[in-house]
Structure 1
């Protein structure tokens, strides 16, 4: 990766406490389809050695159809197939940087080469106004949709029990009710565990304390890795984990552990997956609010005449800083803001 002579420049944004850095290739003298090295991503996202972030957005890459390509990296350097909040932050940058006016079409390029297409709109004239994104979700349900390994999940009615997750619930949280999960993909994989009481939801702080152990369920296995407790390997590519409680037909409480990230205050794709799962089980309406530790996210689920699912998310996005890194990015970079 090459950067301009003035050092690598990135933008930092947040929505509902979910923060991303954005690296614009054109602004940094990079090719549009170029990605930074894994070590660079890890250094940038590290809260002590870098700037600190839940991930890195790389774009825009202009496409022939007028859409803007976006690539998403987790803070550990692994590829993320999709991010609802990351996509909305990217849309905010398109508006802020003058690439688009009030509306933009975005193509999110998945790790496997697939694409998630969405439309974004600025819902007002000021920087504090919400951004709305709407995508046609490539919804798939079942163990194959999330790359669950044979024998690592068990049918439980019309849902599934994930033994490694159930074991983590008992061993880490003293819960024996993490046994009813819907496995689904909306461009990235999700395991949504539905619980019947608010008390069954783990707190954000408790998830952070248990993050290393839960990563062994959520993250993809490393080559030659020893199994250990709550062994990796349930999901071949890793899987985002959610715990959801439906307070009412219009309000769903959610906790999140993302693969490659750990516990997060909010996630647009996790909120979408949880809303779909709760709707699938008849617990919520199509218009609902998903309450996360970082804040509330309005979600609207709809189907067209052909039965294709669309998801609309609306929330403010705030620009935090423009950051320039000096030195060899990813090795001895010093951060100046």
Structure 2
């Protein structure tokens, strides 16, 4: 039996998307890694499975990183799923249940989708950290490099993030520090590692080393986390355009505490898994 899939991307952060009307799909870690492999599989940063919600949502969605680990949240992936669901229902809104909670996607233009990612989690236990620390300005040296000496901020957007503020992202040791910080013992569930350069009060250049996926062209929850971390330090206001390797996202941390992410969704091709 073969199973159809769609290859999608949000700013180059790419996904294999499977829906389960043709039967349940609960992949093993080995199967996820085989699908995600860019040489012998389809190739993707994350695998996404869309299922029927047991509640009153439009769908229940699960996410796996390329290393085979299931994760609670994926911002760019949620945007792609939201676009698919709105295309299939003809509505301008899609309600999506995830392990990180209920998310609502709305149309924001031609192939543009906004997702209410909910409020950030800022307490050290919610991120989680292994011990109590100030998450606005972490007092722990995670990686010894001149550009990474300013205290980073920690935020959970349904998945854990640490954000370093650097003078020049192009010179930051992303591929050296990323994997080292990802598995630092301070983060019991490992962590996504952001490197943010403040360009203006409403513009941030960002690169993200994603746990279980490595350096990606864009990270939606990483963009949300970076905006929140920067705003907490008064480096920016409550909204900013995030400039990622794959393009731009607009992030707003509303006064009601919710973080709204707006950006494109794209379908690359359709295929079948053996």
Specify whether residues 95 and 176 from structure 1 end up closer, same or farther in structure 2 by C-alpha distance, changes over 3 A only.
closer
- Post-superposition CA distance 1:168-195 (Å, at most 9, x none): xx2xxxx353341111212111111123
Specify whether residues 176 and 267 from structure 1 end up closer, same or farther in structure 2 by C-alpha distance, changes over 3 A only.
closer
Give 3-state SS (helix, strand or coil) of 1:296's partner. Answer: strand
Query: 1:300: which partner in 2?
Result: 252
Query: 2:107: which partner in 1?
Result: 122
Give 3-state SS (helix, strand or coil) of 2:225's partner. Answer: helix
How is 1:11-50 mapped onto 2 (pairs within 5 angstroms)?
11-27=6-22, 29-30=23-24, 34-50=25-41
Instruction: Measure, in 1, the Cα distance between the counterparts of 2:97 and 2:129.
Output: 27
How far 1:262 sits from its partner (Å)? 0.8
Give 3-state SS (helix, strand or coil) of 1:276's partner. Answer: helix
- Post-superposition CA distance 1:293-330 (Å, at most 9, x none): 111111111022xxxx111111111101111123xxxx
The question of 1:102 aligning with 2:110 is answered no
How far 1:217 sits from its partner (Å)? 2.4
Instruction: Measure, in 1, the Cα distance between the counterparts of 2:149 and 2:20.
Output: 43
Look at both structures and tell me which one has the larger radius of gyration over its CA atoms. Answer: 1
The question of 1:135 aligning with 2:117 is answered yes
Unaligned runs of 5+ in 1: 110-114, 220-231, 327-337
- Post-superposition CA distance 1:129-148 (Å, at most 9, x none): 311112322x3224333332
Instruction: Measure, in 2, the Cα distance between the counterparts of 1:53 and 1:47.
Output: 7
The question of 1:286 aligning with 2:253 is answered no
After alignment, is 75-84 or 140-149 more displaced?
140-149
Match of 1:159 among 137, 150, 153: 137
Instruction: Measure, in 1, the Cα distance between the counterparts of 2:58 and 2:140.
Output: 38
Specify whether residues 193 and 238 from structure 1 end up closer, same or farther in structure 2 by C-alpha distance, changes over 3 A only.
same
The question of 1:187 aligning with 2:158 is answered yes
How far 1:108 sits from its partner (Å)? 1.2
Specify whether residues 155 and 117 from structure 1 end up closer, same or farther in structure 2 by C-alpha distance, changes over 3 A only.
closer
How far 1:265 sits from its partner (Å)? 1.1
Query: 2:189: which partner in 1?
Result: 237
User: What is the alpha-carbon root mean square deviation over aligned residues?
Assistant: 2.2
How far 1:252 sits from its partner (Å)? 1.0
How is 1:246-257 mapped onto 2 (pairs within 5 angstroms)?
246-257=198-209
Aligned positions, number = 274
Give 3-state SS (helix, strand or coil) of 1:237's partner. Answer: coil
Instruction: Measure, in 2, the Cα distance between the counterparts of 1:314 and 1:182.
Output: 23
How far 1:284 sits from its partner (Å)? 1.1
